[in-house]
A and B are shown apart, each in its own frame.
Chain A
Amino acid sequence: MTKDDFWQGIRGGFPVMVSASPFGALFGALAVDNGFSVFDAVFMSATVYAGASQMVGIELFGHNVQPWLIVLSVFAVNFRHILYSASIARHIRHFSAVQKFFTFFLLVDPQYAETEKRAERGEPVTFAWYLGFAMIIYLPWQFMTMLGAIFGQMIGDPRAIGLDVLLPIYFMGLVLGFRQRDNWLPVVAVSSLASIAALHVVGSPWHVSIGAIAGILLAACLPLSKRHEEPVTLEHEV
């Protein structure tokens, strides 16, 4: 049973791995370009494990920005994970403390989205499934970072081989996956517009947090549907 769940996780995570791999290689190439060694690039991929914030981190490091500002920027780009961990808490209550440690360490965007979708379908969110899904993304991420760092020049101009379009389309697919939820369209519209406005007024990376908070506040203020009238009870445990 556990073994089945693990393999089911690996199969589920495979397409994510395929679409994330170019970005792992791109990160490795850009990291070397910004003064990292191959070891440093893989070390960052292995410990931070958050693609967009890794890109921001190496960019700022390359421009000799103060260390506290680099760390703060990584924190800001990853701020959305606070919302993810709050949201999946109800699905992982049965995990042990050690399992929870790894669960949160490995909580990247697609991992979060698939965990929510799995729970929504009524399938059990087991640690074996979670770990299988995570490992087929985490391990190749390190390998691709190393490849990219070693063969950085082979990527050349990422635009010329169309790499820049993959990340937004991938995230768009995730957004579409949630279209059955209450108030989906108004939330997407408000978050999109707020993030664009914030990008021009405040700048990156704050547009991510500002746009997200705008949509979430809207959802909290809109009329509640019937199925949300029963409050969910969470046991107290950490």
Chain B
Amino acid sequence: MNLKLFTLIGILLCAPLSGCLDESVADNQEQECVTLPAGHDDDGKLRILTYDVLALTDSMVEEFESSSGMEVEFIKESDAGGVLDQMMLTKSAQQADLMIGLDNSYLKTAIDNCLLRETLFTQSPQFENISTSALKPYQGELAIPFDQGTVCLNYDENYVDGENVTLPTSLWNLTEPQWNGKTAFPSPLSSSPGRAFMIATIEYFENDDDNQTDAFDWWSEMSDNGATFTSGWTEAYETHYTGGYGEYTVGYIGDSHLTVSYCHSPGVEAFYSSNWTHSTSLNLPKSSFHQVEYVGIINGAANVAGAELFIEHLLSNGINTLMPENNLMYSVLENSSLPETDGFRFHADIANQPAEIPISRIEMEMEQWLTNWKSATQ
């Protein structure tokens, strides 16, 4: 028999072999969370699973290493979704001790899958310094907020000049011809700001006057109106959006005048361009989502003590109040604010009534929302 044909048939017939995978049975069973033994050797190093969180500056990590005497090693994923994927994939033998970067749209999935273990930080006096807004989505012992911001729509003021194109007063305005092919959205399937904005649209359309349509009808109409969907925030903001710094970068397309970012992104733009920006946020009620990012000890960590120390370090006054400059996000500490330098605070907008969907509902319905979103935008 022809070898190629033989190989193909062999592969196609291997379906019955899937029964050999006994782990599928174990993984499918509902389980009560227990503290797992270390998934890797404890060699004194602290292994941190994260994405490119800018707050983890060289000086911040060096300071920790010299004060704790521990070496820090990073296992980097491309984004918050990647952090959760990695933890799910290595569930039976976790390779890191500490997770940094899951937000409130992903956190409940991690908790429900027993991927995190309790931290003692909630008993520390430092925990009292965390603002109530940061603790609103979750205030248990499995994850500690370390930064926050509100995801909302940003638009280019050069396009929305008030004469030729007027300021949208409803999300439905974006389905009109003047916005045809001029909006870019990071996909909720692969981007955390994309996911946050999709959650906001659920609440927005549940609370509007029209009971005949829901968020996915809007997404479907946006798709028909030529909206661009990208895999991550960077592609939407940097490659497509005309209002941001992307216009000065390589690979820029500049075909969209509205995208998803943070309400304070115009402030960041000004901060990096000597108090100059032509981007601003679209402040429609319920069209934004308060995003909180968390740090948590991984269930299966080897260096738990080191992980506890790092949480304390990340939430210390000296480090966390510098979040706006270092991480371009708000600090989670009480009484902290954005810097005045170069118009950062001036251009940063405060969201008008962010969407309020509890994380338990997010976890329960997310799979269905993502499926609906996919069908609506295909």
A and B: partners? no
Residues of chain A touching chain B, judged by Cβ–Cβ distance below 8 Å, are none
Residues of chain B touching chain A, judged by Cβ–Cβ distance below 8 Å, are none
